[in-house]
Chain A
Amino acid sequence: DTGVSQNPRHKITKRGQNVTFRCDPISEHNRLYWYRQTLGQGPEFLTYFQNEAQLEKSRLLSDRFSAERPKGSFSTLEIQRTEQGDSAMYLCASSLGLAWRASLFSGANVLTFGAGSRLTVL
């Protein structure tokens, strides 16, 4: 296992088109996260999954955005009717995902990030 893999690395699309990004996490990791990063900012949380269940969604995730993790392994993030403001780096991360007390003082819930998928909307 070589880490978190994201595809495509770069996507250029016209406004109004739909785009889909894929993330393959580290195989033994239960939790999978999506973040968005714009130029000059730190990554901002979008959503996360514990196995196949989507447990939390940010207010940043408008109804044009949908994320799935159907079998608890890879995940997809789809953006419908893209807008220029959607241009950003979309980062995926995964972690072991232990319960809070079991993870205290350990690296079990530390996130490992992929290289990201950069979206440019023209």
Chain B
Amino acid sequence: GQQLNQSPQSMFIQEGEDVSMNCTSSSIFNTWLWYKQEPGEGPVLLIALYKAGELTSNGRLTAQFGITRKDSFLNISASIPSDVGIYFCAGLGGATNKLIFGTGTLLAVQP
């Protein structure tokens, strides 16, 4: 199935560091979403973006909807051990009602 290109594939960082990950697509989306998934659980929504160029924050998380509508990034500032998990971007388009997911970024935080 179709998946979005997400990078990096994995990150191993020290507690307190900032993190940045991004997602690109060959298709335009009307909505970009960022989810976090922990082992054995379903994805949990972190941030939703609805307009091209929109910059949205949720606590230490900041995400932006790219101007071209084909990309998005997520930043996590001052990482803590509970940030550990897999982060997925996902796009929702006008022509389809299905959410297309990225390949995921595994984040490991060393205390």
Binding site for B on A (CB under 8 A): 4, 6, 31, 33, 40-45, 48, 50, 55-56, 58-60, 91, 93, 97, 100, 104-107, 109-116, 118
A contact residues around B97 at 8 Å (CB): 31, 48, 50, 55-56, 97, 100, 109
Residue B1 at the chain A interface, CB threshold 8 Å: yes
Binding site for A on B (CB under 8 A): 1, 3-4, 6, 30-31, 33, 35, 40-45, 48, 50-51, 88, 90, 92, 94, 96-104
State how many angstroms separate the Cβ of B34 from the closest Cβ of chain A.
Answer: 11
Question: Which of B33, B98, B102: most chain A Cβ within 10 A?
Answer: B98
| Interface of A, helix, strand, loop or mixed by DSSP | loop
The answer to whether A41 and B94 have CB atoms under 8 Å apart is no
The answer to whether B40 and A118 have CB atoms under 8 Å apart is yes
- Other-chain residue from B30, B48, B104 in contact with A104 (beta carbon distance below 8 A): B30
The answer to whether A104 and B50 have CB atoms under 8 Å apart is yes
The answer to whether B42 and A42 have CB atoms under 8 Å apart is no
B contact residues around A109 at 8 Å (CB): 31, 92, 97
The answer to whether B101 and A110 have CB atoms under 8 Å apart is no
